[in-house]
Amino acid sequence: MTTPQITDSHCHLDFPDFDDTRAEIIDRAVQSGVHRMVTICTRLRNEPKVRAIAEAHDAVFYAAGTHPMSAAEEPMATVDDLVALAQHPKFVGIGETGLDYHYTADSAEVQKQSLRIHIAAAQETGLPLIIHARAADDDMAAILTEGYRTKPYSCVMHCFSSSAELARAALDLGFYLSMSGIAAFPKSQDLRDIFAAAPVDRILLETDSPYLAPPPYRGKRNEPGYTVHTAQVGADLYGLDYAAFARQTEANFDRLFSKVSAWRAAA
C-alpha cells in the first residue's frame, strides 16, 4: 500500500541541530511520506546556506525573511532585497516575519516596520507571507488587515497557537492556519478546538523542527518526518481517515505555495 504523501510546510534545516545528519533526516522524512519540506531562513545573512540546502535536495524548498525576535539586531530588510531573493526557482515564500511580544516586546516598533516590509514583498512577488505571531494578537490582526485592504496577498499563520479571534481574522482574509506539534500536546484542547472550527481547506501541516516535537517524541529534537504524528491528530480532529486528510492538506499546500507545484511540473 502506498504511504499517503504530506508536506512539512515549515522547518529549519539549516539550524546546527541538523548539521551532522541533515541528509539522513531529509531521507527519513521522505521515507515516512513527508515528500516535501519548506526550510525557513530567519536571518537574511544566512540565506546562502538555506538556499544551498534546497538546491542539494529535491524534496526541499525554502523561504527567507527576518524573524521578529531578531528584527532589532539584524539589518532592516528591504522590499527589493526580498524580491531579488524570490527570483530563485526554489524560493517559495516570504518570511518568517511577524510580531512577538512575549520575549521581545521592547522592539515592537521595529518588528512592525519589518512586518510591513515583508507584506509589501509578498504583495509584489505573489508569494505567500509566513507569519510568526505570539502575544501580539491585536496588532497582528490590524496590520495584516490593513495591508490586505491596500493590496490582497496570501498568507499562512505558521505554528498557529494564538487566540480564536486572531484565527478568525486570518481566515476572514482567506489566510491559512498551520498545525504544528503543539496541536498534538495533551493540554492543547483549546487549540484543537480552534482548528476544528476552521475550514479543513485552510489547514497546513508543519513541524517547526528542531522545535516542538509531537508525542511520542515530545522533549526531543523534532524533525520533518514527525509531521505524520501531527497529521494523524488533524485527521482525527476533522473526522477523516489519514489518507483523506493528507490529500486535503496537500491540496491546500499546493494552492498556497503554487510555486512549488510549478517547479515540480517544470522539473
pLDDT of residue 264: 73
* Mean pLDDT, rounded, for 23-29: 97
CB 167 within 8 A of CB 193: no
- What are the extents of the domains in the chain? 6-266
| Assigned CATH class of 6-266 | alpha beta
Write out pLDDT tens, residues 136-159. 999 999 999 999 999 999 999 999
Write out pLDDT tens, residues 12-22. 999 999 999 99
Confidence bin at 1 (pLDDT 50/70/90): low
Q: Given a cut of 90, is residue 267 above it in pLDDT? A: no
Alpha helices per DSSP H over the chain: 22-32, 47-56, 79-85, 108-125, 137-150, 164-172, 189-196, 227-238, 242-256, 258-266
Measured CA to CA, the distance from residue 110 to residue 139 in angstroms comes to 13
Write out pLDDT tens, residues 187-209. 999 999 999 999 999 999 999 99
